[in-house]
Amino acid sequence: MRDACRSLLRFVTVAATILVAAPLSHAQRSDPDVLRAIREEGFRRSEALEIVSWLSDVYGPRVTGTPAIEAAGEWAADRMRSWGLRVSEERFAYGRGWSLERFHAHMVEPQVMPIIGYPRAWTPGTSGTVSAEVVRVDVTSRAALERHRGRLRGKIVLAQEPRDVGLLDGDLVLRMDDRLLEEAARPARGRSRQASSGGSGPQLQNHVQAFFLEEGVVAVLDRGSDLARVGGAPLGSDLVWPTQRTDGGTLFVGPGGSRATGAREVVPAVTIAVEHYNRMIRILEKGLPVTVEIDIRTRFHDEVRPNGFNLLADLPGTDLADEVVILGAHFDSTHASTGATDNAAGVAAMMEAARILQAVDARPRRTIRVALWGGEEEGLLGSREYVRRHYADPRTTARRPDHAKVSAYYNLDNGAGRIRGIWLQGNTAAAPLFEAWMRDLGDLGVTTIGRRSTRGTDHLPFDVVGIPGFQFIQDRLEYNSRTHHSNMDFYDRVQRDDLLQMAVVSAVFAYRTAMLDERLPRKPLPANRRRAQ
């Protein structure tokens, strides 16, 4: 009777296990000892902060096509080789790189004022120090512009209206509270609209540039965008979480020219602090002259060989080694700062995740690949090219043989805040797996399946061709208010505890995915894409 009871108990236990595991049949081979070791290694012996410091302090900014990013790539490759990873590089055509070599600007009349500013990328220099009168120019129409013909040679131009500078009374640091996490878990109600930046149409802008060149303008000073508060759309998802942008010396600086070889010439352009811009406007309105002394020295780096590169590092798998799980982050940065939160933190977390897995001897079934992309800031260029070469043509989704070998792609590119969940990207079949994994990560704050799609970063080229591609949900911290594409994106804005958590959670997701009996579930392609197969 006792033996019969034991047999019955074994049968019931096995049956219950099968019933519970049926929806999660992918997830049965992860080793609990490895999962515990990942935490131990990641939280006690992390190298992530050191990686961020090297990439930002020593090599930042890392604009694609520049000597700085080349040196950063060599350093990262050597670091990953030292951990025992198999490192390779793939290059792609990009265009001209651009570096700033020197800049200073002072108002010298009616009083002396050092100007806080930063030149726009891909704009030329001033051929030495120039002292010039400042003038306001109405650029709202061609007719308005014509009224200035013959009056601008040798002048520095202010072409925007002044902007009111409000108090910092809005949210500056964004931690995902219960309300935001609950909203992220609900399906989208409709796409939010990005606020206008106050710019004019491209045809008029091109005409203005040509006019300024013809008239001999020395430089154009701007005070940045009209966008004082950032809402949902610029953040990459349709979740609305407004954050106030800071002024007070924080500049959000964009490009002013083109990386294309043979691109049309433009006038030197500098974004300056709105407070300094407004001061000069007010002085001019009083009928008093303003003189600025300025020196801009820049260098273009011609494309002798392809200027773009992607850096790849593999932790080889075992019985399913020909299949891959990819951990990705863009390696490049914009030009006005060191690219610490955008995106050295993401790079460091993914590199550190691979180091952790190697250090704990995880022995994943599938190969785990770290992919560090170039050219993301100019349009996801590196990840798009990688997907096109290896997996599918994004225009038709005509698949290459290796398409079937990618189980999942995970991305980090929303600052240096801790991971709070994952954007599902419409892949509802993957939700039960993620929910199961997150039950073991709840103590780290990872709780949310985002039932929305997020945009604007390197998971998209994978997603569009039918490969499961995901961006983690992160606490944004000061990403939108202070550091994103600004002159204040420094190491000091990276929070240690958040960064370590990012690396540990990324390692867990990579390991769990690599240990599945089957690939991660894939969502159906739209009908027009399926017909292209």
pLDDT 10s digits, 122-170: 999 999 999 999 999 999 999 999 999 999 999 999 999 999 998 888 8
With a CB cutoff of 8 Å and minimum separation 6, the contacts of 44 are none
Per-residue pLDDT, averaged over 429-454, amounts to 96
Q: What is the pLDDT of residue 197?
A: 43
Q: What is the pLDDT of residue 229?
A: 54
Which of 301, 331, 353 corresponds to the end of one domain? Answer: 301
Per-residue pLDDT, averaged over 508-522, amounts to 98
Query: 6 lies in a domain?
Result: no
Considering the domain architecture, whether residues 435 and 497 belong to the same structural domain is answered as yes
Domain range for 171: 102-180+195-301
Query: 204 lies in a domain?
Result: yes
Considering the domain architecture, whether residues 364 and 468 belong to the same structural domain is answered as yes
3 state DSSP class of 97? strand
Choose among 182, 174, 193: nearest CA to 484: 174
pLDDT-derived band at 91, boundaries 50, 70, 90? very high
pLDDT reading at 198 higher than 50: no
Reading the block at residue 479, the tokens are 């990403």
Which of 269, 284, 301 corresponds to the end of one domain? Answer: 301
| 175-184: long-range pairs with CB below 8 Å, 24+ | 175/417, 175/475, 175/477, 176/420, 176/448, 176/473, 176/475, 180/239, 180/241, 181/420, 181/421, 181/447, 181/448, 183/239, 184/237, 184/239, 184/421, 184/423, 184/448, 184/450, 184/451, 184/452, 184/473
Q: What is the pLDDT of residue 171?
A: 85
Considering the domain architecture, whether residues 141 and 284 belong to the same structural domain is answered as yes
Considering the domain architecture, whether residues 367 and 437 belong to the same structural domain is answered as yes
Considering the domain architecture, whether residues 233 and 371 belong to the same structural domain is answered as no
Query: 285 lies in a domain?
Result: yes
- Percent with pLDDT over 70 in the chain: 88
Query: 2 lies in a domain?
Result: no
Query: 390 lies in a domain?
Result: yes
Mean pLDDT over the full length of the chain: 90
User: pLDDT tens digits for 407-423?
Assistant: 999 999 999 999 999 99
Q: What is the pLDDT of residue 226?
A: 81
Per-residue pLDDT, averaged over 454-481, amounts to 95
502 touches 419 (CB < 8 A): yes
Considering the domain architecture, whether residues 229 and 320 belong to the same structural domain is answered as no
pLDDT-derived band at 527, boundaries 50, 70, 90? low
pLDDT reading at 529 higher than 60: no
Residue 71, domain CATH = 3.40.630.10
pLDDT reading at 191 higher than 60: no
Residue 250, domain CATH = 3.50.30.30
Choose among 325, 283, 338, 300: nearest CA to 56: 338
Considering the domain architecture, whether residues 76 and 221 belong to the same structural domain is answered as no
Considering the domain architecture, whether residues 286 and 212 belong to the same structural domain is answered as yes
Q: What is the pLDDT of residue 200?
A: 60
pLDDT reading at 3 higher than 60: no
User: pLDDT tens digits for 383-392?
Assistant: 999 999 999 9
Element (H, E) at 269: strand 269-272
Considering the domain architecture, whether residues 315 and 228 belong to the same structural domain is answered as no
pLDDT-derived band at 4, boundaries 50, 70, 90? very low
Q: In what order do the strands lie in the sheet with 269-272?
A: 113-114, 97-109, 291-301, 130-136, 156-158, 219-222, 269-272, 117-119
210 touches 145 (CB < 8 A): no
Q: What is the pLDDT of residue 281?
A: 99
- Euclidean distance between CA atoms 120 and 270, whole angstroms: 5
Give CA separation, 143 vs 165, 206, 238, in Å.
30, 15, 39
Query: 383 lies in a domain?
Result: yes
Which of 243, 276, 301 corresponds to the end of one domain? Answer: 301
Query: 359 lies in a domain?
Result: yes
Per-residue pLDDT, averaged over 201-229, amounts to 90
- For 418, which DSSP code? P
Considering the domain architecture, whether residues 289 and 345 belong to the same structural domain is answered as no
pTM over 0.85: yes
Query: 10 lies in a domain?
Result: no
Number of domains, the chain? 2
Q: What is the pLDDT of residue 60?
A: 98
Considering the domain architecture, whether residues 294 and 335 belong to the same structural domain is answered as no
Vertex 413: Cα angle to 411 and 419 (nearest 5): 75
Higher pLDDT, 324 or 185: 324
Considering the domain architecture, whether residues 89 and 108 belong to the same structural domain is answered as no
Q: What is the pLDDT of residue 87?
A: 99
